[in-house]
A and B are shown apart, each in its own frame.
Chain A
Amino acid sequence: MQRISQKRRRLMLGAAATAALAHPLSVLAQGAEEIVIGGSIPMTGVFAFAGVGINAGIQDYVKIVNDAGGIKGRKVKYVPEDTGYKVDVSVAAFKKITSQNKVNLYYGDSTGFSKTINPELERNGNILMAGASFASELNDPKKYPNQFLVGPDYTEMFGILLKHIAKEKPGAKVAFVYSDSEFGRDPIEKSEAEAKKLGLSVPIKIMTPAGSVDVSTEVIKLRRAAPDYTIFHGYILAPIPEFITQGKQQGMKSKWMGTFWTMDSSTVMKMGEAGEGFMGVMPYRYYYDTEKAPMLEKIRAMRPEYQSTAYMQGFLAAMLFLESAKRCLDAGKPLTGANLKAALNSIKDFDTGGLIGVPLTITGNSIPVGRVYKADMKAQKMVAASDWIKL
């Protein structure tokens, strides 16, 4: 009795196993001749505020293009996956999307992901990638030939700020306050050298441990260095307002500046009193900028509520993606990574419709252009404090 059961059991399980294996685990789900933009987007987790904006930005631009008939008759398909800003989830999403679609363009959510996926990109050979990262390391066309940054890298951002400072106050003292992470440490060394070249001095560099709550000791150190300008990098919001509040209380006369991820309008407005006059570098126009910008007006028509700078970043990324695709197809070349990159690098004096205030030229992996904006707390807006600076 038991023997028969065993055999039957074995047969049943064998059949089940074969059935399971025979089920195709990969399905090619894509219309013919579509241009596919894949995305590992951090729609939840610590970077969610950016991820949601980026997702909306890419979606909107793809819609604009599709409504106008696509690129040379081909429709554009956007396939995002949420990653929670974790590298391994990001990589898994990449594998999933590329196994289910023929992907031409990909948006990555972090520096870690961009570095990890690079060898895979090279092997795949058919994808051009951009992402939310502005890491200086990625700005190397030899090491990262299939990737590009949608703006200046962090060192270039510092460069823009330093150039502005050197013009406003030659020989000034500039302090760097940055977070203990790859994000924070990225531009510090090179920027210190750049500052010296511009005739500025860096009296102190303060690194704060990640997740630190109380920065009183650091503020004391900063006060003793008595800088004319203080640049914060590697943070989104905290601990900048605390630094500024305590610094002002201690009588510091420094001007306060930040880099891209701090400079979203809603983030700066959260600083309250401390944010009055806060400056920073922003490569894009803000949603509410009233200078002539046809693309901004289109965006405002599509989305009546405020859209963050992350949205602008996603929108511009999609724009550059599809412009490269268009130039590739115009030249009759197949959509491979190398061809798309070459097409991207052929972009000269390109008009983004006002998203960036000056025409773009992309010779390497980044777009070293930006403007210094200042916070006007009364108007609850960021206003331009300089011209568009090109490096």
Chain B
Amino acid sequence: MMDWAYLFEISLTGIASGGLYALAALAFVMVYKATRVVNIAIGEMLMAGGYLFFTFAAMWALPLWLAIPAAVLACGLLGAVIERTMIRPLLGEPPISVFMVTVGLSSVLIGLVEMVWTADQRRLPEFMPSDPIMVGDAFLAPKVFWGAVVAAVFIAAVLLVFRYWRGGVALRATASDQAAAYSVGINVPRVFSLAWVASAMLAAVSGIIVGSIGGISSSMGVFGLSVLVVVIVGGLDSVLGALVGGILIGLVEALAGAYLGGEYKLLATFVVLVVILMARPYGLFGTHEIERL
């Protein structure tokens, strides 16, 4: 006999935690959409955002309404610096080179965090409402719920921005054809910077939420691997894909963890990845890349 209440409860939690994945995936997609760069350091940028928030909120004891924007902006600045120093010089190089640069970047970020804040695990100050959310008899952890809400808000905002704001349209234009974007008068280098800054800021928000749930540590970046799976499933350059992929992966993980056991969570995720790679390599919503000779 199926325990439907259990299934419902697990699925609810899975979908909500999928929202967390979706937010981080959004940061990733932002960069890929504009610059075609696979940023595997997304987990570490998330970590940087979490630690910056920790510095502002806990170490310098700034009030929340100051600490959160400060952390987000600081992370945005980090994104701009990264883009200028490491990504811009590699324009035109094969994508694997830029990918490896982001691998190096993740190492550098982890090292810097360990140098400044040590490798100890820390907790972030509590700031989210802590009343449990009940859907009927099913219980949903408040942090996860509010995290998912924030994610949904940002995704909706980004979708609107891409559709209606000039900057968003410029981003899409640069993504589809750089040369044409130049000729229409779009400042392509500025668009690149903008994409990285926006991505870093989104990563910071994601990092703050993820950090407030599980604490921050210098090994937080492994979250990035699950995010990678999400964007592959959803499509590397699709914002909607980030949302759908995130929810799907969150659900898969929750179900695997509940019915099979904790050790199967990651395995299930990667099996889904392999299946998608074989069946629909460009993800559920990604644009099909046509290879030209």
A and B touch in the complex (CB under 8 A): yes
**Which A positions have Cβ atoms within 8 angstroms of B?**
44-46, 48-49, 180, 206-209, 211-221, 223-224, 236-239, 241-242, 245-246, 249-250, 270-272
Q: What distance in Å separates the Cβ of A222 from its nearest Cβ neighbour in chain B?
A: 11
Whether B262 pairs with A220 at a CB distance below 8 angstroms is: no
A223–B139 alpha-carbon span in the complex (Å):
11
Given that A48-B119, A249-B142 are known contacts, is A213 also in contact with B262, CB under 8 Å in the complex?
no
Closest to A273 in B: B126
Q: What distance in Å separates the Cβ of B213 from its nearest Cβ neighbour in chain A?
A: 6
Asked if B35 CB lies within 8 Å of chain A CBs, one says no
A38–B49 alpha-carbon span in the complex (Å):
40
Interchain CB contact (< 8 A) of A238 among B20, B130, B214, B258 = B214
Q: What distance in Å separates the Cβ of B100 from its nearest Cβ neighbour in chain A?
A: 22
Whether A272 pairs with B123 at a CB distance below 8 angstroms is: yes
Given that A209-B263, A272-B123 are known contacts, is A217 also in contact with B14, CB under 8 Å in the complex?
yes
Our count of residue pairs bridging A and B at CB distance below 8 angstroms stands at 100
Interchain CB contact (< 8 A) of B214 among A45, A213, A223 = A213
Whether A238 pairs with B217 at a CB distance below 8 angstroms is: yes
- Of B63-71, B218-226, B274-282, which stretch is located at the interface? B218-226
Q: What distance in Å separates the Cβ of A351 from its nearest Cβ neighbour in chain B?
A: 34
Known: A44-B114, A217-B258, A238-B121. 17 other contacts (CB 8 A): A44-B119, A45-B119, A48-B120, A180-B262, A207-B263, A212-B265, A214-B214, A217-B254, A218-B257, A220-B6, A220-B139, A224-B6, A236-B121, A238-B215, A245-B130, A246-B141, A249-B139
6 CB contacts below 8 A, A to B, read A45-B114, A46-B219, A49-B118, A207-B262, A213-B220, A216-B140
One digit per residue, 1 when the CB lies within 8 angstroms of any chain A CB and 0 when it does not, for chain B 238-277 equals 0000000000000001100110011101100000000000
Q: What distance in Å separates the Cβ of A82 from its nearest Cβ neighbour in chain B?
A: 13
Q: What distance in Å separates the Cβ of A176 from its nearest Cβ neighbour in chain B?
A: 12
B155 proximity list for chain A (CB < 8 A): none
Q: What distance in Å separates the Cβ of B85 from its nearest Cβ neighbour in chain A?
A: 26
A313–B10 alpha-carbon span in the complex (Å):
42
A250 proximity list for chain B (CB < 8 A): 132, 139
A242 proximity list for chain B (CB < 8 A): 213-215
A238–B266 alpha-carbon span in the complex (Å):
18
Closest to A250 in B: B139
A211–B227 alpha-carbon span in the complex (Å):
14
Interchain CB contact (< 8 A) of A214 among B10, B20, B120, B258 = B20
Asked if B228 CB lies within 8 Å of chain A CBs, one says no
Asked if B105 CB lies within 8 Å of chain A CBs, one says no
Given that A208-B262, A236-B121 are known contacts, is A220 also in contact with B210, CB under 8 Å in the complex?
no
Report the 3 A-B pairs with minimum CB-CB distance, sorted nearest first.
A213-B214, A207-B262, A216-B13
Q: What distance in Å separates the Cβ of A210 from its nearest Cβ neighbour in chain B?
A: 8
Asked if B144 CB lies within 8 Å of chain A CBs, one says yes
Whether B121 pairs with A237 at a CB distance below 8 angstroms is: yes
Asked if B36 CB lies within 8 Å of chain A CBs, one says no
Closest to A223 in B: B139
A237 proximity list for chain B (CB < 8 A): 121, 123, 215
Q: What distance in Å separates the Cβ of A189 from its nearest Cβ neighbour in chain B?
A: 15
Whether B210 pairs with A211 at a CB distance below 8 angstroms is: no
Interchain CB contact (< 8 A) of A211 among B222, B258, B263 = B222
B114 proximity list for chain A (CB < 8 A): 44-45
**Which B positions have Cβ atoms within 8 angstroms of A?**
6, 9-10, 13-14, 16-17, 20, 114, 118-123, 126, 130, 132, 139-142, 144, 210, 213-215, 217-220, 222-223, 253-254, 257-258, 261-263, 265-266
A44–B253 alpha-carbon span in the complex (Å):
33
Interchain CB contact (< 8 A) of A270 among B123, B213, B266 = B123
A44–B120 alpha-carbon span in the complex (Å):
10
A291–B140 alpha-carbon span in the complex (Å):
45
Interchain CB contact (< 8 A) of A46 among B119, B213, B253 = B119
Whether A209 pairs with B265 at a CB distance below 8 angstroms is: yes
Interchain CB contact (< 8 A) of B257 among A213, A217, A241, A271 = A217
A221–B257 alpha-carbon span in the complex (Å):
10
A216–B20 alpha-carbon span in the complex (Å):
13
A215 proximity list for chain B (CB < 8 A): 214
A57–B39 alpha-carbon span in the complex (Å):
43
A141–B66 alpha-carbon span in the complex (Å):
59
A236 proximity list for chain B (CB < 8 A): 121
Interface centre among B139, B219, B254, B266 (most CB of A within 10 A): B139
Given that A224-B6, A242-B214, A249-B132 are known contacts, is A209 also in contact with B266, CB under 8 Å in the complex?
yes
A180–B264 alpha-carbon span in the complex (Å):
10
A220–B223 alpha-carbon span in the complex (Å):
22
B120 proximity list for chain A (CB < 8 A): 48-49
A214–B143 alpha-carbon span in the complex (Å):
10
A270 proximity list for chain B (CB < 8 A): 121-123
Whether B123 pairs with A218 at a CB distance below 8 angstroms is: no
Whether B262 pairs with A218 at a CB distance below 8 angstroms is: yes
Interface centre among A207, A211, A217, A219 (most CB of B within 10 A): A217
Q: What distance in Å separates the Cβ of B240 from its nearest Cβ neighbour in chain A?
A: 23
B261 proximity list for chain A (CB < 8 A): 207
Given that A46-B218, A214-B144, A214-B213 are known contacts, is A220 also in contact with B258, CB under 8 Å in the complex?
yes
Whether A216 pairs with B141 at a CB distance below 8 angstroms is: yes
